Structure 1
Amino acid sequence: MLSTGLPQGAVPRLERPGPLRERVYEALLELITTRALQPGQHLVESELAGHLGVSRQPVREALQRLNTEGWVDLRPAQGAFVHEPTEEEADQLLSVRMLLEAEAARLAAANADRDGVAALEELVARGFEAVAADDVETAVALNARFHAKVVELAGNAVLAELAAQVDRRVRWYYTPVARQRGRQSWIEHRALIEAIGERDEQRATRLMREHTEHTRRSYHGQAKP
């Protein structure tokens, strides 16, 4: 076990050739957003390099980029640490998410076809299965795919681009409350599908607002001591 908290073999070694700097960045970002690397955790360059099977240089470059983007804090004479989000940061991000996804739900209700609704129903069925199996990692991934599909069905390229920019941070905040939200989250997803399938734009908007607000409240509730 590394001091970073990652078991040996948890992350596959990166294959060459390719843009190694980018691949290391993506690997570390995935570990942070899935909380395999926890907020506040010390990131040791040499250990991460060994774990990923690369030299320390691309790891150092990736950590610098992650610091610029707010995922990692570089502290003088101490090293790199996974950023610990503040209540204000989380509230701002989740509030923006609510606005984007409420509009996405409205547009999806206006534009979705049968195939699109069927794709949402399949994701919900798999989500219920993941919850029943207490498979939090799969449930989080399916939740992200469900919301991304709603955005796709909205048919607005600008909205899709904006939603993609906040997607990873939404996953970061959702992961610690995924078990708490559990089955209820997927019940809310199912109700949203019904509104989209019935082309009820107002109800779809309201349900998505309520759904994202429940997640925001859950996050703030678990963050309190």
Structure 2
Amino acid sequence: MLSTGLPQGAVPKLERPGPLRDRVYEALLELITTRALQPGRHLVESELAGQLGVSRQPVREALQRLNTDGWVDLRPAQGAFVHEPTEEEADQLLTVRTLLETEAARLAAAHADDDGIDALEELLIRGMSAVANHPDDIATAVALNTAFHAKIMDLSGNAVLAELGRQVERRVRWFYTPVARTRGKQSWEEHQHLVAAITGHDEERAARLMREHTEHTRRSYHARDQS
């Protein structure tokens, strides 16, 4: 077991087939992005190996890759630690997210068809129900929020933009998770207005609402310790 424990059900199952080191990497990355492994957490190879049911070698390889990708810090004579992002790192990432998603919302308003809008409305209903009926279920709230924004990316019709969105999606989840409870109901009310703008094919309004929406999240992240 890990020294400070993990929430029950937090450890993802390792999917097969595929190189074991890749599956361990994905499992650890999921634990980091959902904050089951908090920033600054000491990552002990033997404990992680036991928790995941693997040997220490694929864990070591996964930690090295996570270090390269900026998720883990390897400190000489100390070991591996979950990276602690600076406020500047968060600001830069969330600013880029605003740029990408603002354009995605504008394009979605221009190109979304009935099926796409129906899918977006279904996610909206599920998200609003989740925050209303299960406000303490942060994992579900974050997953639905991610799916909602990913769907707008897809509806943009721009494959390059959607791919860029996927590249930053996990880091957005990482920064959104600490403020998901705070944003909660307000975030989904903002989503509701976004869906209305996209349904009405109002490109300028959709872009403006998305810019304001993502900026609210950015400001909430920076204000989290004062809340």
TM bucket, shorter chain:
over 0.9
| Structure 1: stretches of 5+ with no match in the other structure | none
- Report the secondary structure of 1:74's partner residue: strand
CA contact (8 A) 2:13 2:27 kept: no
CA distance in structure 1 between the aligned counterparts of 2:34 and 2:15, rounded to whole angstroms = 21
Residues 146-176 of structure 1 show CA distances to partners (whole Å, capped at 9, x for unaligned) of 0000000001011011111100000000000
Structure 1 residue 5 displacement after superposition:
2.8
- Report the secondary structure of 1:81's partner residue: strand
Distance change >3 Å, CA 9–CA 127, structure 1 → 2: closer
CA contact (8 A) 2:10 2:36 kept: no
CA distance in structure 2 between the aligned counterparts of 1:215 and 1:174, rounded to whole angstroms = 7
CA contact (8 A) 2:66 2:72 kept: yes
Distance change >3 Å, CA 221–CA 63, structure 1 → 2: same
How is 1:155-170 mapped onto 2 (pairs within 5 angstroms)?
155-170=157-172
- Report the secondary structure of 1:27's partner residue: helix
Distance change >3 Å, CA 122–CA 223, structure 1 → 2: same
Structure 1 residue 114 displacement after superposition:
1.2
One of 178, 181, 186 as aligned partner of 2:180: 178
CA contact (8 A) 1:130 1:139 kept: yes
- Report the secondary structure of 2:14's partner residue: coil
One of 200, 206, 209 as aligned partner of 1:207: 209
Residues 81-116 of structure 1 show CA distances to partners (whole Å, capped at 9, x for unaligned) of 000000000000000000000000000000001111
Structure 1 residue 4 displacement after superposition:
4.7
TM-score, length of structure 1 as denominator length:
0.96
Residues 3-53 of structure 1 show CA distances to partners (whole Å, capped at 9, x for unaligned) of 153257642553555311110000000000000000000000000001101
Q: Percentage identity across aligned positions?
A: 79
Over aligned residues, Cα RMSD in angstroms?
1.5
Distance change >3 Å, CA 213–CA 31, structure 1 → 2: same
CA distance in structure 2 between the aligned counterparts of 1:223 and 1:153, rounded to whole angstroms = 35
Distance change >3 Å, CA 99–CA 161, structure 1 → 2: same
One of 190, 194, 199 as aligned partner of 1:188: 190
- Report the secondary structure of 1:54's partner residue: coil
CA contact (8 A) 1:34 1:172 kept: yes
Structure 1 residue 224 displacement after superposition:
5.3
| Number of residues of Structure 1 aligned to a counterpart in Structure 2 | 225
What residue in structure 1 maps to residue 55 of structure 2? 55
Instruction: Supply the AA of the counterpart residue of 1:221.
Output: A
